[in-house]
Amino acid sequence: MTAPVLDYDEVIERFDPVLGLEVHVELNTNTKMFCGCPTAFGAEPNTQVCPVCLGLPGSLPVLNGKGVESAIRIGLALGCDIAEWCRFARKNYFYPDMPKNFQTSQYDEPIAYNGVLNLELADGSVVEVGIERAHMEEDTGKSLHVGGATGRIHGAAHSLLDYNRAGVPLIEIVTKPITGTGARAPEVARAYVTALRDLLRALDVSDVRMDQGSLRCDANVSLMPRGTTEFGTRTETKNVNSLRSVERAVRYEMTRQAALLTDGGTVLQETRHFDEGTGTTSAGRRKETSEDYRYFPEPDLVPIAPSGEWVDKLRATLPEMPWQRRKRIQEEWQLSDLELRDLVNAGAVELVASTVDAGAAPAEARAWWVNYLAQEANSRGVELGELPITPAQVARVAALVSGGSLTNKLAREVVDGVLAGEGEPDEVVAARGLAVVSDDSALHAAIDEALAAQPDVADKIRGGKVQAAGAIVGAVMKATKGKADAKRVRELILERCT
């Protein structure tokens, strides 16, 4: 059953949306937050567990120092204050994927609070998003519900549990309420998660793979009638796992809530699931309040009191921030504001930068990613970075072109081959026989043949009509199946006819 929705323009005429975004990021530490178990993704179920992360009686947690370090660096990068003293708290709830019966988290004493992240929208305008807090916690295990149609617990015959992820360090980053975005709320939500992902990647604290769940977004959405200031009841759409889905989920929730409110109904405070296939959300569980969790300070872990000296040391490790990097790249590559924006909107800045680092000229790297590959990503419905080609491979193709081994046309075929999983660029060139015919004697043979086939054209060239050579170049290119360098062919034709 699909809920009624209100036309989007009408939503905006009648209501102001309020967003609150909670992003969970899994840190890329080698071991879990409170034990020595490895954190690698994709291992056999329940092979990365121990008494601590299984919550067995008598086991005691030991805090992962690297996890705290990453948390502080994230806080600093977001311009947050770092707590001089804070504690972990037990968040009590029973869920089968949480073997301890509680989650070790932080409650009213987060390690970082009160920051800001600036987002640039597609048209270049900037939105400032306040950061409420960033706190440390641990991930839960994973459940797999078998036998139902939807993969959810309802209708399932049985469920399987994998505790490998239980205890993996998580940082939860929570925004302050985001107001005043109007019709652009869905775009702002997406831009926020994008900016945060870029920042976390620059910090090298996580592999930020939304498709593998190492970056997950919960989108809180509510509406208030235009001209009023009191927030409406919000819903929380959980674990949205792609940038595009974040945008779609927010938009859908706005139209669904608006239809309810316009019809005199009320929005229930609840969690919701986003369905990628239909682009709609469905009700999850009624939202608990913090009282339900009976938070209390974690008695098995000592408080954390990062010294000012340590925090300063960590501050000195912060890398160039994505926005600083963009500014520098714009200057170095001499891009106009519009060119830079195209690059940013295509999600190509880091990819192009890496391609340049791998040896390609900036203009060529840009052309590959923003033109050819962006089209390919678009037609596959994936993000640019998800295409099965690396910056190093693009740089290799560009090098083959600039070295004269490939024409632009052949280079596109090589890229197609890499995308099709045929291996490295050089392997594709060899397997598909794509190298430019650079052997002059082979070209001479083709030229002589073309001249013999079109004697009138040959006479014109010999008579000094240089522009007539185009027809012979065309014939040679055709004979070599486009594998000749047209410029070289032209030179050889003119040599031949003088």
Q: Which is nearer to Zn ion, 36 or 404 (CB)?
A: 36
Yes or no: say if 106 and 297 are a contact pair by the CB < 8 Å rule. no
What minimum distance in Å lies between the beta carbon of 163 and Zn ion? 8
The phi-psi region of residue 248 (left if phi > 0; otherwise alpha if psi is between -120 and 50; otherwise beta) is: alpha
Q: Which is nearer to Zn ion, 165 or 190 (CB)?
A: 165
**Whole-angstrom Cα distance, residue 110 to residue 462?**
83
Cβ-Cβ contacts under 8 Å for 129 (sequence gap 6 or more): 21, 116, 117, 118, 119, 175, 176, 178, 188, 192
What minimum distance in Å lies between the beta carbon of 103 and Zn ion? 15
Q: Which is nearer to Zn ion, 90 or 326 (CB)?
A: 90
Helices (H) and strands (E) in the chain, counts: 17, 14
**Whole-angstrom Cα distance, residue 357 to residue 88?**
42
**Whole-angstrom Cα distance, residue 368 to residue 378?**
14
Helix (H) or strand (E) holding 391: helix 391-402
Q: Number of residues in contact with Zn ion, rule: CB under 5 A?
A: 5
What minimum distance in Å lies between the beta carbon of 48 and Zn ion? 7
What minimum distance in Å lies between the beta carbon of 23 and Zn ion? 25
| Radius of gyration over every alpha carbon of the chain, rounded to an integer in angstroms | 29
35 binds Zn ion (CB under 5 A): yes
Q: Which is nearer to Zn ion, 50 or 392 (CB)?
A: 50
What minimum distance in Å lies between the beta carbon of 44 and Zn ion? 15
What minimum distance in Å lies between the beta carbon of 37 and Zn ion? 3
Other C-beta atoms within 10 Å of 36: how many?
12
Least Cα distance to 181 among 15, 22, 338 occurs for 15
Stretch that binds Zn ion, among 42-50, 310-318, 330-338, 440-448 (CB under 5 A): 42-50
Q: Which is nearer to Zn ion, 49 or 89 (CB)?
A: 49
**Whole-angstrom Cα distance, residue 342 to residue 350?**
13
**Whole-angstrom Cα distance, residue 95 to residue 271?**
15
Ranges within 43-82 binding Zn ion (CB under 5 A)? 50, 52-53
Stretch that binds Zn ion, among 34-42, 83-91, 392-400, 453-461 (CB under 5 A): 34-42
What minimum distance in Å lies between the beta carbon of 104 and Zn ion? 12
Of 33, 37, 189, 447, the one binding Zn ion by CB under 5 A: 37
Ranges within 423-452 binding Zn ion (CB under 5 A)? none
Q: Which is nearer to Zn ion, 52 or 397 (CB)?
A: 52
Q: Which is nearer to Zn ion, 19 or 52 (CB)?
A: 52
Least Cα distance to 236 among 174, 182, 287 occurs for 287
What minimum distance in Å lies between the beta carbon of 53 and Zn ion? 3
Stretch that binds Zn ion, among 17-25, 31-39, 348-356, 449-457 (CB under 5 A): 31-39
98 binds Zn ion (CB under 5 A): no
Q: Which residues bind Zn ion (CB under 5 A)?
A: 35, 37, 50, 52-53
